[in-house]
Structure 1
Amino acid sequence: MRPGEEEVVTDLLDAAFGGTEESRLVTTLRKKGEMGGEMVLPLGDRIIGYYALSHFRAPQGWLCLAPVAVAPDLQRHGHGRRMIRQLTEWARLSGQYVVVLGQVEFYEKAGFRQDRATRLTSPYPIEHTLLAGPGNAAPKETLRYPKSFDGL
């Protein structure tokens, strides 16, 4: 993501989720310095996809994937899956753990694994928690999400 694309991302998130909760989360992550990285997916002169990575409070060094969005008129065309597959491959090659809370079937097709998250302790439903990163083990860790997630 480049400077100046924030407003386009806000509009994309609001359209994809039908409200402002996700774009407000992204704004808060940025303001609190909890953002680890932001990626956009361009198509022609348009941004059609986006995801944010934020820093967990614990385990140290782990990243949280949220939110993920694709323009409503381009959903179900494989754009989101390709975008997330690139992320899971980067996580595997770089040795970076990335956690996502979401639709199990979608994220497993993109390279995340639910079975690797079974030993995690989370304030959110573990049955919808998936893990990407190095190896095949199921680490035993307690997830402490960024403060921006408090109250969600």
Structure 2
Amino acid sequence: MISPDFLREMQRGEEAAVAALLTDAFGQPDEAHLVEKLRKSRAIAGEMVLPSEQGIVGYLALSQMIAPKGWLCLAPVAVHPDLQRNGYGRRMVGMIVEWARLSGQTLVVLGDPAFYSRCGFSPAPEGLTSPYPVEYTMVAGAAKAKLMDLKYPAAFG
């Protein structure tokens, strides 16, 4: 397999390739269905892909949080199974974290703290409440609020 190209915005017409990648990467279609729901509800703030000569081999989505206003949720993040454990996911997430830092944006992610801390995320600040386990909730960027109640888009159900 030839190395992927640069991370770029997803283009119209790539939805099916992204759904296939998500299904392959996670071994089931739940994340593909989540992305479909986020698109339909217009909660997606941005979608990025990692293209290669073989097609789309990496993907990440940013969605608007309901609360705190202005925060973005990073989910899902996927790399084709043949390319996992080669640093592509870490670099993709690291680029988004650096964008958040430079633009004054706050990101929240729910996932493996060991992985996301290597990408620039920090543990959730004290006082944060979430419908999901706080020990797996991490933030990056310009988080300033001390007490906050995370509310995700309805598609996360």
1:41 aligns with 2:50: yes
Among 99, 106, 122, the alignment partner of 2:130 is 122
Partner of 1:6: 15
Q: Is contact 1:12-1:48 (8 Å) kept?
A: yes
Q: Deviations over 1:56-101 (max 9, x none)?
A: 1111110011111000010000000000000000000101000000
Letter in 2 for 1:53: L
Between the aligned partners of 1:117 and 1:27, the Cα distance in structure 2 is: 30
Would you tell me which structure has more strand in proportion to its own residues? Answer: 2
Between the aligned partners of 1:139 and 1:3, the Cα distance in structure 2 is: 39
CA distance 1:139–1:43, change in 2 (3 Å): farther
Between the aligned partners of 1:138 and 1:76, the Cα distance in structure 2 is: 34
Q: Deviations over 1:82-139 (max 9, x none)?
A: 000000000001010000000001000011111x43331101000000000127x573
Q: CA RMSD in A?
A: 1.3
Letter in 1 for 2:109: V
Partner of 1:60: 69
Task: Tell which deviates more after alignment, 43-52 or 77-86.
Answer: 43-52
Between the aligned partners of 1:73 and 1:47, the Cα distance in structure 2 is: 12
Letter in 2 for 1:108: S
Partner of 1:132: 140
Q: Which runs of 5+ in 2 are unaligned?
A: 1-9
Between the aligned partners of 2:52 and 2:136, the Cα distance in structure 1 is: 30
Partner of 1:107: 116
Among 86, 92, 98, the alignment partner of 1:83 is 92
Instruction: Give the structure-1-normalised TM-score.
Output: 0.93
Task: Tell which deviates more after alignment, 37-46 or 71-80.
Answer: 37-46
TM superposition shift of 1:43: 2.5
Give the match's secondary structure for 2:122: coil
TM superposition shift of 1:24: 0.3
* Residue identity (%): 55
